[in-house]
Amino acid sequence: MTICKNRSPKNPTGPKFPWLAIAFSLASAGAVPDPKITERQITRVGSSTDCPVPTTTQGFQWDTKSCTNSYFAPWAFPIDKWVDPPKLNITVAGVPITATVDTGSTGLVASIGLFPNVTFTKTVPTHIFYSSSHWLEEGYEEWIDMSFGPYAMRTKILVKDKEVCCPTFDGTTDGHRCPTSKTARGCNCSPSGCRGKRDEEEDYDTKAKREVVNLPHIAYMGIGFGRGDPQNANPFLDTLTYNGQPSNGSSSSYCQGYVITHDGLHLGLNQDITKNFAWTTLPQQDVGGSRDWNTPPMVYKVDNGAQQSGAILVDTGIPNSYFTNSPITWNNGSTFEISVPGTSQLYKVKYDIIKGVNFGVVSSPNPMQPNTFGISSKAGYVNTGRKFLNCFDLAYDSIGGNFGYRYLNAAGCSHFLSLQNISRSQL
């Protein structure tokens, strides 16, 4: 854990510095719930302990290109307060599929039962392990054609033929399969069976439960970054053509990246769809010789304690929130404040935490209130869950390495945000 240092801003003429700060009010009968999850450590490049620095849109890729190749797709099902995860209609190997969109993982996963007329090689075993839920998706790596609106991709896919609850899975020693000795029925199983979707297993919404029962064959599309995977594992960052014409990261008409809104997803950035976003620079990392970006930086503190640096993940795959516990001691009524580069004001958001509620929905009028809170084993880390999106849109510039927040001022958001103009000297 490192203490955040001050440093000179990139633009010394600006008197104010854009930050967004979120404060968690720990109003509970005791400490936060016992640790329930272990999330994969994010490897950071470099050892700087400086505070994250905000950026402006000057010099972004869409300022120097025409960026006409952009496509908006509405969610397959309307979003109702982000209770359920977002889903998009895509086509994989000629098969129309509705896939859950997850910013907390990277890579396309689909059940083999979705492709009765496709012959797969099954020569390269692989897996995806959802560490927050302990589900291990076992299958084979295949290269496959995919389309999303006018975009065509040739992308890797995990064709899943088995799903295992494997809480102590270790990819280093276990390979791509869960040893029999490690299998368990502890991943939210009931006498009628185990629910398989990472997002739905942690979401007790009635519609979500019904959806799992009625869809035995599922698809899951991870479009996240900073998860330890190369960018070409992300189907949205490996586009080949747009309306039949070449469209990739070096194209003059395509600005690689996406915007997530309440209504749907934009693939391909331009000036219009990035209006009113406040941006932060992402730390660069190397993944097997391929460039990727770490999750957005943040600074956080508990009560009036020392500031610590870390990373924040807005995860569309889960309705819950996880945050670091070490080396902090939590007390009743403690305030957990997260400062994220992105606005000229300090936003303090209060959440209620109830001890011992693993999957129950906490009753709160706060639009960003997650279903539950859990402890992450990673130092300097917060996973907000998807309900953060009730008050913000998100944008990811995968070429320049920038992440954007756009405050929506939606109903109820302002009641849980206290605004204060701040300068860098106050942080």
Rounded mean pLDDT for each run of 10 residues along the chain, 427 residues in total? 34 38 45 29 31 50 85 96 95 94 92 92 90 84 95 92 89 92 69 40 31 53 86 85 81 89 96 89 76 82 76 91 67 64 51 45 71 72 90 92 88 71 41
- What's the pLDDT score for residue 50? 40
Same domain, 236 and 354: no
Q: Which residues of 142-154 are buried (b: 16+ CB within 10 A; e: fewer)?
A: bebebbbbbbbbe
In a domain, 298, yes or no: yes
Cα gap 291→254, rounded to integer Å: 19
Same domain, 171 and 300: no
In a domain, 284, yes or no: yes
- What's the pLDDT score for residue 231? 74
In a domain, 178, yes or no: yes
Tokens matching residue 328: 């902090």
Helical (H) or strand (E) element with 333: none
Q: Domain ends where: 240, 255, 270?
A: 255
- What's the pLDDT score for residue 213? 31
Phi-psi region of 385 (alpha: psi -120 to 50; beta: other; left: phi over 0): left
Same domain, 92 and 160: yes
Same domain, 320 and 379: yes
Its domain, for residue 419, covers: 19-59+280-426
Same domain, 168 and 207: yes
Q: Which residues of 195-224 are buried (b: 16+ CB within 10 A; e: fewer)?
A: bbbbbbbbbbeeebeebbeeeeebbbbbbb
Cα gap 270→273, rounded to integer Å: 6
Q: Residue 240 is part of a domain; what is its CATH number? A: 2.40.70.10
Cα gap 284→295, rounded to integer Å: 9
Q: How many domains does the chain have?
A: 2
Q: Domain ends where: 197, 220, 255?
A: 255
Q: If you compute the radius of gyration of the chain from its CA atoms, what whole number of angstroms results?
A: 21
Which letter does DSSP use for residue 2 in this model? -
Question: What residues pair up with 381 in beta bridges, in sequence order?
Answer: 311
In a domain, 264, yes or no: no
In a domain, 368, yes or no: yes
Same domain, 73 and 55: no
In a domain, 289, yes or no: yes
Same domain, 246 and 143: yes
Same domain, 194 and 298: no
- What's the pLDDT score for residue 245? 87
| 373-376 sheet: strands from edge to edge | 19-26, 334-341, 297-302, 308-313, 381-383, 321-324, 373-376
Same domain, 230 and 332: no
pTM for this entry: 0.78
In a domain, 269, yes or no: no
Same domain, 96 and 221: yes
Same domain, 89 and 220: yes
Same domain, 248 and 336: no
